Amino acid sequence: MDKAGLNFAFSCDEIIDEDHIRLDKAVSLYFSNKSDLEELSRSRASRLIKTGLVKVDGEVSKKSSKLVSPSSQIELVIPAEEESYLLPDSTVEFEIIDEKEAFLVINKPAGLVVHPGAGNKSGTLANGLVHYFGKNKVTAGGDFLRPGIVHRLDKETSGLMVISKSDSSFQSLQKQFSPPRTVKRSYLALTRKLPENPESSNVIDAPIARDPNNRLRMAVREDGKPAVTQWTVRRELKKGYLLEVVLETGRTHQIRVHLAAFGAQIVGDRVYGESIGSLPGEVQKITRDFNRQALHAEKLSFLSPSDGGTVSYVAAPDNRMLSLIEAYDK
């Protein structure tokens, strides 16, 4: 193939005796059958396929579900580290809450982007992890642009994240974000109002999809994916409320979209929140100075990939958010 990296080519008759199997399964089986190669999970094989790094009978295939037969010829490239465009960055700071053989739990600071995107290839958590994992000689799992990253937080949201340290732990953790969802996540959100749920409950059950009028936003829409958010009042303030919010699903911007849709916009949210100018005078300046959404991933629990036992973590908001909460109580 015409891309740099580690190149492999094989015939499917080396690995399968069925009439047809999925392409991602065939790629994964090839590596598991080679004692001199590291195993390659189906999830990682799927990412290589979707990136256009796999050919079947000379043609690029981007469908993991494509069926191949024993006569199929497969070529693939696993990109070399220097070709991944994800450089190690020792200046990226994040707090390590706990480290085990299989995973890290970190407290991501507000303002840190989790992984590279368009026009943003450096200075991300992923760049920092490449530096950290390289220094500690571990294989993080995931793909070469998201090493070890099982889930994400928005740039301006702070708080707990779990990071895998191997391909097997990545698979274990990733599965826990699907039903029956053994990952539990709880957030703190500062709002000026309580959600106005027409069902008079503390559960918001409203599907979420891309906003048809603004592709950078999400919105509550009948044709969206199911999304469920639970909320309770942690503390009533003089100028608002500190809510504890629990995610039952994990849609993009879910907490921000759900609270805004029911009239409880998160303080400081520049996308879904109230404009600074519309706020009461006494909170305009403190909200403007805070300059981000007041949302923090406070609690995280999951089943350890090593022994299956439940592990739980708590991280308090940073001092700036704590000061903002106190300012809304004066």
Q: Which of 83, 103, 119 is the last residue of a domain?
A: 83
pLDDT at residue number 47: 84
User: Are 47 and 131 within one domain?
Assistant: no
pLDDT at residue number 311: 98
Residue 237 within a domain = yes
Structurally, how many domains does the chain consist of? 3
User: Are 148 and 211 within one domain?
Assistant: no
| 71-111 confidence digits (pLDDT tens) | 999 999 887 653 445 788 999 999 999 999 999 999 999 99
265 vs 80, residue with greater confidence: 265
Instruction: Determine what percent of the chain is predicted with pLDDT higher than 90.
Output: 65
Residue 1 within a domain = no
Segment 295-301 shows an average pLDDT of 98
| 162-216 confidence digits (pLDDT tens) | 999 988 898 899 899 988 999 999 999 999 999 998 777 899 999 999 898 887 8
Residue 295 within a domain = yes
Residue 310 within a domain = yes
Q: What pTM, to 2 d.p., does this model score? A: 0.77
pLDDT at residue number 78: 81
Distances (CA, A) of 279 to 251, 275, 285: 28, 7, 10
Q: Which of 34, 56, 83 is the last residue of a domain?
A: 83
Residue 62 within a domain = yes
User: Are 193 and 305 within one domain?
Assistant: yes
The answer to whether residue 2 scores a pLDDT higher than 50 is no
* Rounded CA separation 141/305 (Å): 13
User: Are 215 and 291 within one domain?
Assistant: yes
User: Are 260 and 117 within one domain?
Assistant: no
Segment 10-33 shows an average pLDDT of 86
User: Are 137 and 209 within one domain?
Assistant: no
Which residues constitute the domain of residue 208?
177-330
The answer to whether residue 248 scores a pLDDT higher than 90 is yes
117 — pLDDT class (breaks 50, 70, 90): low
The enclosing domain of 124 has a CATH number of: 3.30.2350.10
Instruction: Determine what percent of the chain is predicted with pLDDT higher than 70.
Output: 91
21 vs 140, residue with greater confidence: 21
Segment 46-73 shows an average pLDDT of 92
User: Are 204 and 309 within one domain?
Assistant: yes
pLDDT at residue number 304: 97
pLDDT at residue number 198: 74
Residue 250 within a domain = yes
User: Are 266 and 149 within one domain?
Assistant: no
Distances (CA, A) of 289 to 154, 292, 320: 19, 9, 10
Catalytic residues: 154
Segment 28-42 shows an average pLDDT of 74
The enclosing domain of 61 has a CATH number of: 3.10.290.10
* Rounded CA separation 297/316 (Å): 9
The answer to whether residue 36 scores a pLDDT higher than 80 is no
Residue 297 within a domain = yes
User: Are 327 and 244 within one domain?
Assistant: yes
User: Are 76 and 99 within one domain?
Assistant: no
* Rounded CA separation 226/304 (Å): 27
Poorest-pLDDT segment among 139-143, 163-167, 223-227, 277-281: 139-143
Q: 51: helix, coil or strand?
A: coil
Q: Which of 83, 118, 137 is the last residue of a domain?
A: 83
The answer to whether residue 131 scores a pLDDT higher than 80 is yes
The answer to whether residue 118 scores a pLDDT higher than 80 is no
Average pLDDT, the chain: 89
| E-only strand ranges, the chain | 6-11, 21-22, 54-56, 59-60, 67-68, 73-78, 95-99, 103-108, 142-143, 146-147, 158-164, 184-191, 203-205, 208-210, 218-220, 228-237, 240-247, 295-303, 310-314
pLDDT at residue number 120: 62
Cβ 65 vs Cβ 164: under 8 Å: no
pLDDT at residue number 85: 55
User: Are 160 and 120 within one domain?
Assistant: yes
Segment 238-257 shows an average pLDDT of 96
17 — pLDDT class (breaks 50, 70, 90): confident
User: Are 330 and 181 within one domain?
Assistant: yes
Q: What is the Cα Rg of the chain in Å?
A: 22
